């Protein structure tokens, strides 16, 4: 847990300077002019509107469905209105939590020690995360990443318990993994990719199958299916 703590602290320290920043670019549309954040607007509207507060069925809707992220903005709005520092504070906290989870995942895959620490530090400090953390709308990416990692780690736990635990325990970890995957998708659409990542872990890491073996296996299954169905 020391590596996770160190990497999380580094992530927080690197972005603490964003707390004094203002809103920028899409932040204004997602927060300042978004009617779904106002207390007089029923909070259930969030589940019918897109990320920018436009009804999903409207012809001008962006069709981006991220209700959990919008709910977090509404929470910020309820506590501090449109003061930017509160929104940036939540983003920085999310980045610290995501970094800690990523470091835990690295420990699971690489083992404890220096490599997992280096992976966590690289994740905490990599400049590719700047826009997601410093821009308030980037919280959609942070929230999706948080539940993406939780989903994948729960699935890894599910895989490692096979043959060592009862069906109830296995099913519980699998359901929690699916629930976190759903939450990741409701933060940002790209969260759906965790399902493919979990399948990839199962096949290539847990079962240690090479890509060529996977292709051969799929080819055999396809041929068997073709034969059962009577060919052409």
Q: Which of 138, 31, 37, 152 is nearest to 94 (CA)?
A: 138
- Here the tokens at position 114 are 């220096």
Predicted TM-score (pTM) of the model is 0.88
Which residue ranges make up each domain of the chain?
2-214
Residue indicated by tokens 């400049």: 127
Task: Report which secondary-structure segment, H or E, holds 116.
Answer: helix 114-125
Over residues 190-204, mean pLDDT: 92
At 114-163, the pLDDT tens digits run 899 999 999 999 999 999 999 999 999 999 999 999 999 999 999 999 87
Q: Indicate left, alpha or beta for 81 from its phi (over 0: left) and psi (-120 to 50: alpha).
A: left
First to last CA, the chain: 58
Using pLDDT thresholds of 50, 70 and 90, give the confidence band for residue 225: low
- Here the tokens at position 186 are 């409701």
Q: Is the pLDDT assigned to residue 193 strictly greater than 50?
A: yes
Residue 164 makes CB contacts below 8 A (sequence gap 6+) with none
Using pLDDT thresholds of 50, 70 and 90, give the confidence band for residue 226: very low
Read off the DSSP letter of residue 60.
Answer: T
Q: Which of 148, 109, 101, 92 is nearest to 4 (CA)?
A: 101
Cα–Cα distance, 143 to 150 (Å, whole number): 11
């Amino acid at each position: 847990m020391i590596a996770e703590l160190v990497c999380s602290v580094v992530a927080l320290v690197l972005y603490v300077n964003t707390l004094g920043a203002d809103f920028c670019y899409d932040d204004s549309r997602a927060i300042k002019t978004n009617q779904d954040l106002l207390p007089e607007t029923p909070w259930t509207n969030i589940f019918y509107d897109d990320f920018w507060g436009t009804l999903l069925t409207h012809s001008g809707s962006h069709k981006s469905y991220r209700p959990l992220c919008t709910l977090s903005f509404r929470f910020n709005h309820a506590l501090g209105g449109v003061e930017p520092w509160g929104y940036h504070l939540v983003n920085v906290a999310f980045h610290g939590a995501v970094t800690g989870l990523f470091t835990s995942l690295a420990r699971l895959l690489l083992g404890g020690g220096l490599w997992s620490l280096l992976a966590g530090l690289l994740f905490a400090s990599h400049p590719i995360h700047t826009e997601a953390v410093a821009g308030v709308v980037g919280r959609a990416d942070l929230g999706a990443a948080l539940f993406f990692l939780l989903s994948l780690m729960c699935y890894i736990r599910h895989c490692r318990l096979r043959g060592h635990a009862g069906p109830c325990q296995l099913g519980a970890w699998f359901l929690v993994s699916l629930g976190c995957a759903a939450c990741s998708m409701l933060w940002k659409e790209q969260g759906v990719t965790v399902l493919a990542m979990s399948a990839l872990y199962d096949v290539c890491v847990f079962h240690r199958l090479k890509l060529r073996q996977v292709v051969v296996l799929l080819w055999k299954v396809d041929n068997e299916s073709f034969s059962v169905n009577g060919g052409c």
